[in-house]
Amino acid sequence: MDEMLIRLHGLTKLYGSQRALDGVDLELGRGKIVGLLGPNGSGKTTMIKLLCGLLRPTAGEVLIDGALPGPYTKSVISYLPDRMYFADWMKTSDLVDFFTDFYADFDRKKAAEMFSALNIRPGDRIRTMSKGTKEKVQLVLVMSRRAQLYLLDEPIAGVDPAARDFILSTILTNYNESGTVLISTHLIADVERVLDEAVFLQNGHVVRHDTVDHIRELEGKSVDQLFREIFRAVPYQGGDL
């Protein structure tokens, strides 16, 4: 077992001439909740897709538990994409069967308990669910696996604050202790308290990687405030005078 769960060396991804990630070196340990923070277009989703093997790097290397992305790494990664990938005619019970078939580490009982806590019935169809409920359904499925690495791409975007609290507490109480959770988001104020570490991405580069408490200690401000300073955009002041 590699002591570092994730090792990225010189990771680079080009889309045509567009550099989405540019020589990223990063190591993440086990048993941590890590925020992947950056504005839109900074490379968060690209990094997550490279980690789960959906994209191949243009240059550099991804190692998960010491292995290159492949069947082994897929078996230990539980991935929540940034958009829904289930057919909308499916029912909650279909999805549970689906996950049971696909993943040996899927815990049906745990999923059933979480669904009933949320008043989501096995016969409910995705088509009839609200946006927030759909997000919750996907999160329940993803967190019901006993994975080593949970990759959550924008799990709290587009849901109301109460649903956010539910999602964050689900993450806190359900991740397995030797597993690491990587949450990508730009809604930092909401996730800050649950994070051990923060990784700041800007234009495809890691510009900062530190623990949340160390950042607060050094800067005397929250990670959210620091983020706003690093990524401040100068407002357009109108045309020339």
Partner 1 sequence: MQWKLTDDRPIWLQLTEQLTERIVSGVYPTGSRMPPVRELAAEAGVNPNTMQRALAQLEADGLVATNRTAGRTVTEDAEAVGRVRGRLAEEKMELYVTGMATLGYSEEEAASLLMQRRRK
Tokens of 10: 């010189």
**Sheet harboring 18-28: ordered strands across?**
18-28, 6-15, 59-64
Q: In the structure, how many helices (H) and strands (E) does the chain have?
A: 9, 9
Residue of 7, 9, 19, 32 interacting with partner 1 (CB under 8 A): 32
Regarding 221 and contact with partner 1 (CB under 8 A), the answer is yes
Which of 21, 33, 80, 140: binder of partner 1 (CB under 8 A)? 33
Least distance from partner 1 to the Cβ atom of residue 197, Å: 10
Which one of residues 10, 15, 25, 31 is an interface residue with partner 1 (CB under 8 A)?
31
**Smallest separation, CB 145 to partner 1 (Å):** 19
Continuous segment of H or E residues that includes residue 103 = none
CB of 202 vs partner 1, minimal distance in Å: 22
By CB under 8 A, what part of segment 134-193 binds partner 1? 165, 168-169, 172-173, 193
Residue with smaller CB distance to partner 1, 73 or 170: 170
Comparison of 105 and 224: residue with beta carbon closer to partner 1 = 224
Pairing label, strands 33-37, 197-202: parallel
Segment interacting with partner 1 (CB under 8 A) among 5-13, 30-38, 46-54, 202-210: 30-38
| Residues contacting partner 1: total by CB under 8 A | 22
- Gap between the Cα atoms of 85 and 61, Å rounded: 27
φ/ψ bin of 106: left (φ > 0), alpha (ψ from -120 to 50), beta (otherwise): beta
Contact 96, 109 (CB under 8 A): no
For the chain, helix, strand, coil in percent to 5 are: 35, 25, 35
Q: Smallest distance from the beta carbon of 159 to partner 1, in angstroms? A: 16
**Contacting residues toward partner 1, per CB under 8 A:** 31-33, 165, 168-169, 172-173, 193-196, 212-214, 216-217, 220-222, 224-225
